């Protein structure tokens, strides 16, 4: 049995003030392009099942364009006759019950099975049962829904779980209302043939569990996400579980640093390569206030001709903001917490607390981060 697992496609996300030839925000178009690449792979690979683990749309009330695009793409998927199971993530779940969940638009598709009602749902097929746990705003309710999942395990079939959450505190995205899967219920994973996760935007296995995988997002929803590889998982369920990562082509992000201690030679030493259509991020370090006035944004941008967008970060001498809290998506929770303590305390106090913090984190989580 082969499953294609993808996730976090965030249709309708847009960023940067760049329009393409069709007058569509270029980054929004990039997300549509990534999605189309996955659909082309579905057509080529013909898996037995398709899984989407949440955040199909970036917002719970997406734009007309995003909805239209999704309907067109799922019409293609539906026509293949391959069952597709999809759950709602935090981005596509309404915060109040006054609005209707967007994933309801797929209710009348023959082969698309959606779980969006903040409750456990089971989709049973001849050889396999899919246990869908969509995003839930209420954590106490979530626990009872996990228990329903436990009761519905069918030992005569394959069992596959779909979730949109952080397993442990390691996969938090620093977003409002995200759901942390309760630690005491992680034992349930061992009873599953595969656990398909959404929420974290990098592909990877969840450290201590051999059968639990994040598919990752299909594009980056923030320039702080420096991963240059996005894709989906192709899951083979035979005698053993075999998970293969398939990459799609996305717009690259390139980072450069110009040390303004010696600006001229730092610029001369820059190796600007393959920046055509790329997202470029340049960090100017060791700046003095006077220099910062002298160095024009336009002159820096001109160094990266052909790039889609150049963002410039200015860091002044004597301030150590090089791993600022803005970089949260690139940091682990441990690093984030350490950074916070460092900012709040004296050097001596920080040195004392650092060991304690690291000790606490290592006893709490022993994950290997394959998704970085």
To Mn ion, the closest distance from the beta carbon of 110 in angstroms equals: 27
Q: Among the candidate windows 8-16, 92-100, 136-144, 284-292, which touches Mn ion by CB under 5 A?
A: 8-16
State the Cα–Cα distance between residues 55 and 35, nearest whole angstrom: 12
180 Cβ contact partners less than 8 Å away, ≥ 6 residues apart: 139, 165, 166, 168, 169, 172
User: 15, 28, 55, 315: which one contacts Mn ion (CB under 5 A)?
Assistant: 55
To Mn ion, the closest distance from the beta carbon of 55 in angstroms equals: 4
Q: Among the candidate windows 2-10, 125-133, 140-148, 264-272, which touches Mn ion by CB under 5 A?
A: 2-10
CB of 164 or CB of 205, closer to Mn ion: 164
To Mn ion, the closest distance from the beta carbon of 198 in angstroms equals: 7
User: 5, 8, 87, 232: which one contacts Mn ion (CB under 5 A)?
Assistant: 8
CB of 30 or CB of 55, closer to Mn ion: 55
To Mn ion, the closest distance from the beta carbon of 218 in angstroms equals: 10
For the record, the structure tokens of 175 come out as 């977003």
CB of 8 or CB of 281, closer to Mn ion: 8
Q: Among the candidate windows 27-35, 54-62, 227-235, 277-285, which touches Mn ion by CB under 5 A?
A: 54-62
Residue 329 binds Mn ion (CB under 5 A)? no
Q: Among the candidate windows 7-15, 230-238, 247-255, 305-313, which touches Mn ion by CB under 5 A?
A: 7-15
CB of 51 or CB of 310, closer to Mn ion: 51
Q: What is the DSSP string of 314-347?
A: EEETT---TT-GGGGGGS-HHHHHHHHHHHHS-H
User: Pick from 176, 245, 186, 192: which is nearest to 215 by CA?
Assistant: 245
DSSP, res 255: E
For the record, the structure tokens of 32 come out as 């549509």
Q: What is the DSSP string of 26-38?
A: HHHHHHHHHHHHH
With vertex at residue 134, the alpha carbon angle to CA 129 and CA 135, rounded to the nearest 5 degrees, is 160
Q: Is 118 helix (H, G, I), strand (E, B) or coil?
A: coil
Q: Are 201 and 229 in contact (CB under 8 A)?
A: no
CB of 55 or CB of 121, closer to Mn ion: 55
To Mn ion, the closest distance from the beta carbon of 88 in angstroms equals: 11
CB of 57 or CB of 256, closer to Mn ion: 57
CB of 175 or CB of 193, closer to Mn ion: 175
Q: Are 188 and 181 in contact (CB under 8 A)?
A: no
For the record, the structure tokens of 310 come out as 């150049």
User: Pick from 222, 215, 288, 220: which is nearest to 250 by CA?
Assistant: 220
Q: Are 163 and 130 in contact (CB under 8 A)?
A: no
Q: Return the bridge partners of 102, or none.
A: none
Position of tokens 């083979």? 236
CB of 82 or CB of 180, closer to Mn ion: 180
Q: Are 8 and 222 in contact (CB under 8 A)?
A: no
To Mn ion, the closest distance from the beta carbon of 221 in angstroms equals: 7
To Mn ion, the closest distance from the beta carbon of 274 in angstroms equals: 28
To Mn ion, the closest distance from the beta carbon of 196 in angstroms equals: 14
To Mn ion, the closest distance from the beta carbon of 23 in angstroms equals: 26
CB of 25 or CB of 221, closer to Mn ion: 221
Residues lying near Mn ion in the complex (CB under 5 A):
8, 55
């Amino acid at each position: 049995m082969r499953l294609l697992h993808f996730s976090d496609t965030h249709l309708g996300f847009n960023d940067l003030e760049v329009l393409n030839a069709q007058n569509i925000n270029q980054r929004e178009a990039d997300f549509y392009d990534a999605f189309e690449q996955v659909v082309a792979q579905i057509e080529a690979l013909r898996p037995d099942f398709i899984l989407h683990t949440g955040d199909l749309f970036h917002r719970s009330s997406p734009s007309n364009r995003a909805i239209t695009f999704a309907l067109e793409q799922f019409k293609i998927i539906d026509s293949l006759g391959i069952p597709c199971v999809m759950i709602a993530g935090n981005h596509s779940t309404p915060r109040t019950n006054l609005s209707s969940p967007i994933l309801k638009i797929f209710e009348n598709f023959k082969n698309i099975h959606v779980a969006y009602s903040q409750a456990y749902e089971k989709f049973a097929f001849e050889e396999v049962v899919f246990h869908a746990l969509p995003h839930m705003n209420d954590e106490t309710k979530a626990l009872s829904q996990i228990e329903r999942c436990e009761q519905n395990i069918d030992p005569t079939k394959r069992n596959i779980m779909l979730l949109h959450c952080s397993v442990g505190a390691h996969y938090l995205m620093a977003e409002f209302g995200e759901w942390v899967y309760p630690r005491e219920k992680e034992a349930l994973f061992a009873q599953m043939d595969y656990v398909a996760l959404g929420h974290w935007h990098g592909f990877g296995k969840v450290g201590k569990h051999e059968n639990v995988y994040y598919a990752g997002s299909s594009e980056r929803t923030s320039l702080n996400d420096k991963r240059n590889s996005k894709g989906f998982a192709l899951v083979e369920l035979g005698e053993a579980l075999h998970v293969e990562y398939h990459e799609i082509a996305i717009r690259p992000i390139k980072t450069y640093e110009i040390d303004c201690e010696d600006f001229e030679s730092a610029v001369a030493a820059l190796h600007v390569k393959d920046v055509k259509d790329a997202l470029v991020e340049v960090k100017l370090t060791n700046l003095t206030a006077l220099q910062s006035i002298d160095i024009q944004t336009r002159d820096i941008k001109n160094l990266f001709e052909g790039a889609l967008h150049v963002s410039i970060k200015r860091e002044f001498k004597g301030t150590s903001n090089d791993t600022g809290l803005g970089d949260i998506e690139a940091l682990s929770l441990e690093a984030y917490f350490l950074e916070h303590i460092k900012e709040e305390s004296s050097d001596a106090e920080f040195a004392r607390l650092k060991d304690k913090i690291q000790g606490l984190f290592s006893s709490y989580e022993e994950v290997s981060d394959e998704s970085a």
